[in-house]
Amino acid sequence: MHNYQVIAMIVLLGPKMQYIQNLVQEQVKNIMSKQLLHPSAALSHHHQRTKTDHFITKPSFIASCSAFGPKKIGLVVRVAAETTESVYKFLRLQLAPMEAMIGVPPYKTSVI
């Protein structure tokens, strides 16, 4: 897990979460597809390329997800990232539709 400082696992479970599960699956697919198509865009600005890693690029953020349970009632999302901020941003974006269910945006930045 070289340079990955943040590991997260998110479990979305239940029929009320189906809409969000579908959105998250589609977004994860899009995010990771873009990184595969344009791997140089996934490089962290802190990482300097050398001759030895000329053809190898390591994304600064990786996400995957899998449906589970009877009738695929749940979704597990796995994330590895170099920064906490990138995971918070991902969670804010992916879980924003939950606001209608719980009354407040998840991971809302508090203002004092």
Q: Is residue 108 part of a domain?
A: no
- What's the chain's average pLDDT? 83
pTM of the model: 0.76
Q: Per the structure, how many domains does the chain have?
A: 1
Over the range 10-20, which residues count as b (16 or more CB within 10 Å of their CB) and which as e?
bebeeeebeeb
| Radius of gyration of the chain measured on its C-alpha atoms | 16
What CA–CA distance (Å, rounded) separates 10 from 96? Answer: 14
28 domain-assigned = yes
Rounded to an integer, the average pLDDT of 96-107 is 87
Residue 82 lies inside a defined structural domain of this protein: yes
pLDDT one-digit tens code per residue, 11-45: 999 999 999 999 999 999 999 998 877 755 544 44
Strand partners, 79: 8, 63
Residue 94 neighbours by CB distance under 10 Å:
23
Q: Do the domain assignments include residue 86?
A: yes
Residue 112 lies in a domain: no
